[in-house]
Amino acid sequence: PTLGEFVLEMPRGAQVIYPKDLAMILFWADVFPGARVLEAGTGSGALTLALLRAVGTDGRVITYEQRDEFARRALANIHMRLGQVNNLTVRLRPVEDGLPEEEPVDRVLFDLPEPWKLTSLVASVLRPGGIFMCYVPTIIQSHELSETLHREREWALVETFETLMRPWNIEGQSVRPFHRMVAHTGFITLARRVVPAEGAAPPRLGQAESSE
């Protein structure tokens, strides 16, 4: 099976991030071969699997999960798909406890209920120019996170979106969308780690650059 098919059918203890969102996350968070990526909220391991394949053998994924049964299930799924991996570190503890001890990373990706409480800690470990991505189920969570990121000077280019996928039936002269579509599953919020000049406000998405 493809990775997308595997994610949909693999055993799960926690709700997974679906392939339509995984694809968008990897692209918009610009996860590249050799990247050092920190993830929080391992769950059943869907995003972890996608990240491991994206960073390749020269990269590293550090994933945090508080619940032992979720971590065990995620590792079982990862080993079922990839076999033994040497570029994965699983930390069975709250991410807020571990962040102060982490070495700098290129990307941070959270699937947590209250990521806005950790933005300052994330800024301390994410390299300048790095991308912070959060996946949350409700717009209320996205709003709280976005407002926090806009207030803090370490963040710029904040944006939020969702992915809607509508399959089509194309058979002979019959061309129509399916009656059911894969609509809302979660909101994706992204921000760029910056070091703003003294007294300058960090840029917002779509803001025109000054010619001076």
CATH number of the domain that residue 157 is part of: 3.40.50.150
Q: Phi, psi (5° rounding) for residue 186?
A: -175, 165
pLDDT tens digits for range 123-140: 999 999 999 999 999 999
Is 198 a domain residue?
no
Average pLDDT in the 159-184 region? 92
Is 147 a domain residue?
yes
Is 200 a domain residue?
no
Is 138 a domain residue?
yes
Domain total in the chain: 1
Q: Tell me if the pTM is above 0.85.
A: yes
Residue 179 belongs to what domain range? Answer: 3-193
Is 73 a domain residue?
yes
Helix segments in 56-168, DSSP class H: 68-82, 95-98, 119-125, 139-151
Share of the chain above pLDDT 70, in %: 93
**Residue 212 predicted with pLDDT over 80:** no
How far apart are alpha carbons 93 and 95 in whole angstroms? 6
| Per-residue confidence (pLDDT) for residue 201, from 0 to 100 | 64
Is 98 a domain residue?
yes
Is 182 a domain residue?
yes
| Per-residue confidence (pLDDT) for residue 197, from 0 to 100 | 72
| Per-residue confidence (pLDDT) for residue 200, from 0 to 100 | 64
**Residue 80 predicted with pLDDT over 90:** yes
